[in-house]
């Protein structure tokens, strides 16, 4: 009995010494919260985001930190569940006392935590794409992922140049697809484009020939499919199976090598809007983002043995924007927010960011380039007047 209590006391003393000791050696780090869907259905977003955020924070610290202070990333896993996201955001704000938060990964999770960060007055840089996150503008909420509407505009712009006016849209019946469908329908009139077939498929569907048969017998001059893997790969294969010769467009949701791998030869000739990450090596040298892109892609490859992707890029942008804001403003939540809003001309991974009082998304449709699948690889679609 006595031995145990002595041991207990000893342990307590040790802990105090160690904890106090660590604090005494360095200025207290700046705490940044992270909310990512590391597991669960959106893990393809959250995992590279968390990896990238940790990688960038480590590098900033290795280079001496921000204004002499280290950054500390406290990242939690929302599992893509908005209830969890809401609990965790409160944990970050109340227990961990972070000065800013990056993430969450999905639009649903982000919408769930907006109320909490607005109330607590903590700046949040979301890595999700939904345009409703920053429309209308919320004082404390920013985002780095490109709006779906920009991708739609990029495709419609191309269709206008090719004088294609009638399209069929085939969208997946999940959050990503329905947001894309809304944007496609909302923007069509502006570009003088008529949607002649508006059809959907379910995320787990394995055969889309019925929908495509319907499209084949319609007036459509092009097919636009909006979804994330594997659905669009099935669509591409079914298009080939049915011998449909119409041009096929996809969304930025499939702009990864995985899509080409899944669709195989059926991917050939498909055009889609994409962030610049996947074509970083073939970008012209005057491209403002080229330097950031090459640095990120190589760095990620070195750390995690796979190529950096768009999703990791959203976290890269978020941390770098935050770093810039702390350098220019200060390390209190209010100072960070004000400095973030004044960020202009920041060449990141997702695009060149220009935040303002009326724009917390900061990107234009030039954040996307059009890419075409050629010989199982991406190639830039060059358009007169755009590049």
Partner 1 sequence: MPIFDQLTQYLFSGLATGAIYALIGLGFAIIYNATGIINFAQGEFVMLGGMFTLSLLGGAGLPLGGAVPVAIILTTVVGMVFERLAIRPLKSATPLSLVIITIGGSILIRGIAMLGWDKDTHSLPGFSGDEPIEMFGASLMPQHLWIFVVTIFVIGCSKLFFNYTVSGKAMRACSYNSRAASLIGIDVRRMVLFSFIISSAMGSLAGIIIAPLTMTAYDVGIMLGLKGFCAAIIGGMSSGFGTVLGGLLLGILESLGAGLISSGYKDAIAFVILLLILFIRPQGLFKKAETERV
Interface with partner 1 (CB under 8 A): 43-44, 173, 199-202, 204-211, 213-214, 216-217, 229-230, 233-234, 237, 240-243, 258, 261-266
Helix %, strand %, coil % of the chain (to 5): 50, 15, 35
Rounded CA separation 87/90 (Å): 5
CB of residue 267 to partner 1, shortest distance in Å: 11
Q: Where are the alpha helices (DSSP H) in the chain?
A: 2-25, 43-62, 82-90, 107-120, 148-161, 175-188, 209-216, 231-241, 257-263, 290-304, 310-328, 333-341
Residue nearer to partner 1 on the CB measure, 231 or 273: 231
Helix (H, G, I), strand (E, B) or coil at 379: strand
CB of residue 211 to partner 1, shortest distance in Å: 5
In terms of Cα–Cα distance, which of 163, 363, 145 is closest to 255? 145
CB of residue 287 to partner 1, shortest distance in Å: 30
Residue nearer to partner 1 on the CB measure, 258 or 288: 258
- Continuous segment of H or E residues that includes residue 72: strand 71-77
Residue nearer to partner 1 on the CB measure, 121 or 207: 207
CB of residue 237 to partner 1, shortest distance in Å: 8
Residue nearer to partner 1 on the CB measure, 91 or 258: 258
Is residue 238 within 8 A of residue 223, CB to CB? The reply is no
Residue nearer to partner 1 on the CB measure, 133 or 262: 262
CB of residue 336 to partner 1, shortest distance in Å: 34
């Amino acid at each position: 009995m006595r031995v145990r209590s002595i041991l207990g006391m000893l342990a307590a003393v040790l802990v105090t010494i160690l904890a106090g000791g660590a604090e005494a050696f360095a200025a207290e780090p700046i705490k940044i919260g992270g909310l990512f869907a590391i597991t669960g259905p959106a893990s393809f977003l959250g995992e590279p985001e968390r990896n990238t955020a940790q990688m960038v924070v480590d590098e900033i610290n290795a280079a001496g930190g921000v204004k002499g202070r280290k950054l500390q990333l406290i990242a939690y896993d929302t599992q893509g569940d908005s209830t969890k996201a809401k609990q965790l955001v409160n944990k970050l704000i109340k227990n961990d006392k972070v000065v800013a938060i990056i993430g969450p990964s999905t639009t649903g999770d982000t919408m769930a935590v907006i109320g909490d960060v607005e109330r607590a007055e903590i700046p949040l840089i979301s890595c999700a794409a939904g345009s409703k996150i920053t429309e209308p503008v919320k004082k404390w909420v920013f985002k780095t992922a490109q709006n779906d509407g920009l991708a739609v505009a990029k495709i419609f712009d191309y269709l206008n140049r090719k004088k294609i006016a009638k399209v069929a849209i085939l969208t997946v019946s999940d959050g990503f697809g329905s947001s894309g469908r809304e944007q496609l329908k909302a923007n069509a009139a502006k570009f003088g484009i008529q949607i002649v077939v508006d059809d959907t498929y379910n995320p787990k569907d394995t055969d889309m020939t019925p929908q495509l048969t319907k499209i084949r017998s319609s007036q459509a001059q092009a097919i636009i499919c909006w979804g994330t893997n594997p659905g669009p790969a099935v669509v591409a294969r079914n298009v080939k199976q049915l011998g449909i010769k119409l041009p096929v467009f996809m969304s930025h949701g499939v702009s990864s090598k995985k899509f080409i791998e899944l669709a195989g030869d059926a991917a050939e000739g498909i055009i889609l809007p994409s962030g610049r990450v996947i074509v970083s090596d073939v970008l012209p040298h005057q491209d403002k983002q080229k330097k950031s892109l090459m640095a990120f892609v190589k760095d990620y490859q070195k750390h995690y043995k796979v190529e950096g992707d768009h999703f990791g890029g959203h976290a890269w942008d978020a941390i770098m924007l935050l770093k810039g804001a702390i350098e220019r403003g200060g390390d209190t939540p209010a100072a960070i927010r004000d400095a973030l809003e004044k960020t202009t001309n920041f060449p990141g991974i997702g695009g060149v960011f220009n935040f303002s009082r009326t724009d917390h998304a900061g990107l234009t449709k030039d954040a996307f380039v059009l890419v075409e699948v050629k010989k199982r690889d991406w190639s830039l679609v060059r358009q007169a007047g755009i590049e």
